[in-house]
Amino acid sequence: MSKRGYAASKKLLTGLIGAPIAHSASPAMHERAAEALGLRGHYQLIEVAGADAAGLRMMLEGVRRLGFAGVNVTYPYKEAVVPLLDELAPGAAAMGAVNTVVANNGRLIGHNTDTTGFARAVAPLLAPSGNAVAVIGTGGVGKAIAFALASLKVSDLRIFDSETARAEKLASLLASHGGATVAKSVEDALDGATGLVNGTPVGMLPNRGMPVPAALLHEKMWVADAVYSPLITPLLAAAQAKGARIMTGRELAIYQAADAFELFTGLAPSTEVMGEAFDEVMTARSAAYHAA
């Protein structure tokens, strides 16, 4: 549907495919952004664990036929949906990961707003030159983060994954985008690094683990985490204790959502409105967690 069509209909149906997603702040962000633009928005959580290709295809067929403007896709399906779509935007095709699917005249088109969102969020942390940034995790969000950093001309990009073959595959995809070095270990990735990004789910509640040992963190680096539940993950708490600058998953969550909303509708949402909705969700969740 065109931008004009949304303005006329005042209705917007979007959603999220993944598991587990009950904690997602996306419904609040998207519905509040729609309301601010005079639309009646509904953002449907589509939580199906363990879906195979046939199951994903059925969900996507529902998106195609039931009036969705599109859906977001999260763990563990960001890579699995790629071969099931009709078309990929260049950025999504380059990395082989999708977090936003736009329904356009019966066709499903894959995009990756984790990349554009993270680039917007992390840019203020990067030094003008000599950046050495380590990315831990090379799954769907790790891929997007690595491509975002490459787009920002990070001069020394190191990637590490416990599955070496997956990291090597990402390095090959990045070869024509500035390149990346596959680290042999977390210690190797962080040796001399000025920045660190956690692209794994480690630290997401109820998990309280850390993707890197606290001993490797120091005050001369910045540390970012894609996880936003909790907002201050064990990794970020340890980084703060060492005097490092930190970036929570808040900015990535908001900017990727804003970019997705614009792809769904052709309308630019207020990131301030989305941020307020995100903060309300996180405040309520924190209160519930501490009351439990």
- The per-residue pLDDT for range 130-141, each reduced to its tens digit, is 589 999 999 989
Query: How confident is the model at residue 172, as a pLDDT?
Result: 97
Mean pLDDT of 205-219: 94
259: confidence class by pLDDT, cuts 50, 70, 90: very high
Higher-confidence residue: 130 or 18?
Answer: 18
pLDDT at 191 over 50: yes
- pTM here? 0.91
Mean pLDDT of 229-237: 95
Which one is catalytic: 6, 43, 77, 255? 77
> Cis omega before residue 234 (within 30°)?
no
Query: How confident is the model at residue 4, as a pLDDT?
Result: 44
Query: How confident is the model at residue 127, as a pLDDT?
Result: 77
7: confidence class by pLDDT, cuts 50, 70, 90: low
Do 41 and 31 touch, CB atoms closer than 8 A? Answer: yes
SS3 for 179?
A: coil
pLDDT at 5 over 70: no
pLDDT at 3 over 80: no
Query: How confident is the model at residue 10, as a pLDDT?
Result: 85
Helices (H), 73-196: 90-95, 113-122, 140-151, 164-174, 186-190
Lowest-confidence pick of 89-93, 137-141, 245-249: 137-141
Mean pLDDT of 151-178: 95
Query: How confident is the model at residue 39, as a pLDDT?
Result: 96
285: confidence class by pLDDT, cuts 50, 70, 90: confident
Distances (CA, A) of 13 to 63, 67, 204: 10, 7, 28
Query: How confident is the model at residue 229, as a pLDDT?
Result: 87
* Residue whose structure tokens are 């989305």: 274
Query: How confident is the model at residue 117, as a pLDDT?
Result: 97
Higher-confidence residue: 129 or 118?
Answer: 118
Do 216 and 187 touch, CB atoms closer than 8 A? Answer: yes
129: confidence class by pLDDT, cuts 50, 70, 90: low
For the chain, percent of residues with pLDDT exceeding 70: 95
CB atoms within 10 A of CB 52: 8
For the chain, percent of residues with pLDDT exceeding 90: 87
Distance CA 158, CA 171 (A): 9
Query: How confident is the model at residue 60, as a pLDDT?
Result: 98
23: confidence class by pLDDT, cuts 50, 70, 90: confident
Query: How confident is the model at residue 292, as a pLDDT?
Result: 65
Higher-confidence residue: 60 or 20?
Answer: 60
Tell me the pLDDT of the chain averaged across its residues: 93
Higher-confidence residue: 44 or 129?
Answer: 44
Per the annotation, the verdict on 77 as an active-site residue is: yes
